[in-house]
Amino acid sequence: MKVYASVLKLRLLIGMQYRSAALAGVATQFFWGFISIMVFEAFYEHTSITPPISLKELITYIWLQQAFLAFIMLWFRDNELFDLITSGNIAYELCRPTDLYGFWYAKLLAQRLSSALLRCYPILLVAFFLPKPYNMTLPPNAITFILFIITLLLGLLLLVAISMFLYISVFITLSPMGSLLLFGVTGEFFAGLIIPIPLMPLWLQKIAYVLPFRWTADFPFRVYSGHIAQSDAIIGVFIQLGYLLGLLWLGKLALNNVLKRVVVQGG
Amino acid sequence: MIKVEGITKSFKVAKRSTGLLQATKALFYREHTIVEALKDITFSIEPGEIVGYIGPNGAGKSTTIKIMSGILVPDGGKCSIMGFTPWKNRVEYVKNIGVVFGQRSQLWWDVPVIDSFELLKDIYYVPQQEYKSTLDLLIETLDLQDIINSPVRQLSLGQRMRCEIAASLIHNPQILFLDEPTIGLDAVSKIAVRQFIKAINQEKGVTVVLTTHDMNDIEALANRVILIGKGSLLYDGKLEELRKRFGTHKTITADYRKNSNSIDIPGTSIIHWSPEHAVLSIDTEQILTSDVITQLSKKVDLLDVTIESQPIEDIIVQLYKEFQI
């Protein structure tokens, strides 16, 4: 456990070095958040039916999305790991007395945590004090908030487990671009990051509900706004856990498999 | 300590000729050639030895090191290091070894060196007390005081290499594998690295296996050399033996008063000649060095003579030629 704690510490230290990157990120996310909200606002004004998610809930959804970008985006990657695999520096990782899956999982988790810790506060803080209707609102009650925290963190663990497959695939393809695009586009779409899942057509919703992606973002955000009832949220936590354990097991299996075939080329 | 028996390893390499047509063809059908990187390699190394593992580029040196450090799985053969089979008990085994790959880096690029060391300390579960004393020793002997707080990206190659070596010794391994530790270093750094390797071998009894292309490394460090070429083991023994067996040539450089007579001596060949200066190569199996000098002094008025043994580099080149590798 100590190993994982010190990986996290080191990652945080690295993250802190790039303050201007964090600031630029915050600015971009504000911009993006406003654009999304205004687009949805325009749609909502001219709709004749009652939308399945209210504008207020949607705005909260979008601000949470922007604040916890590092928790939910599949394209948010650790290039160092890609370099390790493609350059052969992985030779060193294999000389360490640690389980590689756990070690990398910790690295990725730490990277996302450090990045989100630096960026989420300013976004959340400002989003609360924005003029109506652009402002973020508090969750309906304390239990909902606790449920949100639990589901958000489980979602993060789940996302890192999903992203591990991206890195494992690079052992075979040796280039991260293809996997990144494929994982990024499908994963983010079905996590409801482009169109919130309640706004998708029914048949598409059905697909999204079967895949693991929505449990990383759509689910915790809707728990926050109260769009998902508390009882459903508790069931959801178990589904998240189920997915998490399944994907961890599969990922470990896959990684051990590719490691057996790994060839570190060159002198 | 290290026992390698009949290790073989081959790689499948895709073959493709140049040209667009060939490239298109390769999309559908690829020819593969099997490259035998290691053929039946056997040797054993005792605790406390420093062994130089040499051979031309592509001989299989790094492959052997990678197999011995548990990164590659060989196709056949046995390997037992401290009772472990490296690729089978990887996690248990690697606690006991340190590895430096001269062409790769294990330090975190963006943070000060010391932070990488701290992480390694936790990865290897080194107790704080032990870490402190090891680190002090490493800082002192490798002269890291001034660089340990700088981010790795700001270090020169020589500085980084010293840190790399220190990093692989944080956990006090009993065996150290060095794959080209002096590659790209300047003379001063090379000497520092060599002295350090010697010191840890003598003081802590660390067994060292090092591959290198710099024969000075071998001369300074290794009593024993293992020579491989094209995947086969060609020589395993003392460096001195190698010199005796193959280094039978000496070079005599002579300065003398102006003399235009030729200085042809049987058993020698003239490499360079001028009326005041000559360089002779002698074969000590045919003629003794002292005889050459006696004969030389009869023919010319000698002013200065230097005798040089054949440099180890030349011996190796000659060896490579002899074994056709």
Any idea what the CATH number is for the domain that residue B174 is in?
A: 3.40.50.300
Q: Are residues B262 and B218 in the same domain?
A: no
How far apart, in whole angstroms, are the C-alpha atoms of residue A59 and residue A41?
9
Q: Are residues B61 and B90 in the same domain?
A: yes
Query: Do residue B103 and residue A266 have CB atoms under 8 angstroms apart?
Result: yes
3-class secondary structure, B207:
strand
Question: CB contact, 8 Å: B122 with chain A?
Answer: yes
Average pLDDT of every residue of chain A: 87
Q: Could you tell me whether strands B97-101 and B76-81 are parallel, antiparallel, or unpaired per DSSP bridges?
A: unpaired
Q: Using pLDDT thresholds of 50, 70 and 90, give the confidence band for residue A170.
A: confident
The answer on pLDDT for B26 being more than 80 is no
Query: Do residue B106 and residue A89 have CB atoms under 8 angstroms apart?
Result: yes
Among the listed residues B266, B263, B272, B264, the one whose alpha carbon sits nearest the alpha carbon of residue B302: B263
Domain termination residue (choose one: B243, B276, B296): B243
Query: Do residue A14 and residue B108 have CB atoms under 8 angstroms apart?
Result: yes
Q: Of B91, B105, B123, which is closest to A3 when you measure between CB atoms?
A: B123
Which residues in chain A are contacts of B125 at CB distance < 8 A? 2
How far apart, in whole angstroms, are the C-alpha atoms of residue B140 and residue B143?
5
Domain termination residue (choose one: B243, B269, B303): B243
Q: Are residues B238 and B268 in the same domain?
A: no
Quick one: pLDDT at residue B16? 67
Q: Are residues B290 and B173 in the same domain?
A: no
Retrieve residue A49's tokens.
């039916």
Q: Are residues B234 and B254 in the same domain?
A: no
Q: Are residues B75 and B99 in the same domain?
A: yes
The answer on pLDDT for A196 being more than 60 is yes
Give the phi and the psi of residue B227 in degrees, each rounded to 5: -110, 125
Number of domains in chain B: 2
Q: What average pLDDT score do residues A89-97 get?
A: 84
Note whether residue A192 is domain-resident. Answer: yes
The predicted complex's ipTM stands at 0.76
The interface residues of chain B toward chain A in range 181-240, judged by CB-CB distance below 8 A, are none
Q: What average pLDDT score do residues B42-62 get?
A: 88
Note whether residue A165 is domain-resident. Answer: yes
Which residues in chain A are contacts of B91 at CB distance < 8 A? 97-99
Q: Answer yes or no: are the C-beta atoms of B213 and B237 closer than 8 Å.
A: no
Report the range out of A37-46, A98-107, A236-245, B61-70 with the highest average pLDDT: A236-245
Q: Answer yes or no: are the C-beta atoms of B18 and B61 closer than 8 Å.
A: no
Q: Are residues B158 and B301 in the same domain?
A: no
Q: Which residues pair with B280 in a beta bridge?
A: B252, B270
Which residues in chain B are contacts of A266 at CB distance < 8 A? 62, 103
Give the phi and the psi of residue B298 in degrees, each rounded to 5: -70, -35
What are A70-92's pLDDT values in tens digits?
Answer: 888 888 888 888 888 888 788 88
Q: Are residues B80 and B128 in the same domain?
A: yes
Specify the pTM. 0.80
Alpha-carbon gap: B275 to the closest alpha carbon of chain A (Å): 49
Please provide the DSSP assignment of A13-60 as one string. HHHHH-HHHHHHHHHHHHHHHHHHHHHHHHHHHT-SSPPSS-HHHHHH
Retrieve residue A170's tokens.
């690079």
Interface test with B, best of A92, A252, A261 (most B CBs within 10 A): A92
CATH code at B309?
3.30.70
How far apart, in whole angstroms, are the C-alpha atoms of residue B165 and residue B169?
7
Residue A137: CB atoms within 10 A of its CB come to 16
How far apart, in whole angstroms, are the C-alpha atoms of residue A251 and residue A40?
37
Domain termination residue (choose one: B199, B215, B243): B243
Residues of A near B (CB-CB distance < 8 A)? 2-3, 5-7, 10, 13-14, 17, 80, 87-89, 91-92, 94-99, 103, 260, 262-264, 266-267
Alpha-carbon gap: A266 to the closest alpha carbon of chain B (Å): 8
Q: Answer yes or no: are the C-beta atoms of B58 and B67 closer than 8 Å.
A: no
* Number of inter-chain CB pairs under 8 A, A vs B: 76
Q: Are residues B132 and B196 in the same domain?
A: yes
Sign of CA dihedral A14, A18, A21, A23: positive
Which residues in chain A are contacts of B175 at CB distance < 8 A? none
Q: Are residues B46 and B113 in the same domain?
A: yes
Q: Using pLDDT thresholds of 50, 70 and 90, give the confidence band for residue B295.
A: confident
Give the phi and the psi of residue A13 in degrees, each rounded to 5: -60, -45
3-class secondary structure, A183:
helix
Which residues in chain B are contacts of A107 at CB distance < 8 A? none
What are B179-192's pLDDT values in tens digits?
Answer: 888 888 888 888 88
The answer on pLDDT for B146 being more than 70 is yes
What are B249-293's pLDDT values in tens digits?
Answer: 788 888 888 887 777 888 788 888 888 888 888 887 788 888 888
Q: Which residues pair with B309 in a beta bridge?
A: B250
Q: Of B61, B70, B115, which is closest to A13 when you measure between CB atoms?
A: B115
Q: Are residues B255 and B232 in the same domain?
A: no
**Residue-number span of the structural domain to which B223 is assigned:** 2-243
Please provide the DSSP assignment of B117-152 as one string. HHHHHHHTT--HHHHHHHHHHHHHHHT-TTTTTSBG
**Residue-number span of the structural domain to which A200 is assigned:** 2-261
Quick one: pLDDT at residue B43? 92
Q: What average pLDDT score do residues A117-129 get?
A: 87
Q: Answer yes or no: are the C-beta atoms of A155 and A219 closer than 8 Å.
A: yes
Interface test with A, best of B95, B99, B123 (most A CBs within 10 A): B123
Alpha-carbon gap: A261 to the closest alpha carbon of chain B (Å): 8
Q: What DSSP designation does B9 have?
A: E
Three-state SS for B260-321 is CCCCCCCCEEEEEEECCEEEEEEECCCCCHHHHHHHHHHHCCEEEEEEEECCHHHHHHHHHH
Number of domains in chain A: 1
Residue B285: CB atoms within 10 A of its CB come to 9
What are A200-228's pLDDT values in tens digits?
Answer: 999 999 999 889 999 998 899 999 988 88
Note whether residue A24 is domain-resident. Answer: yes
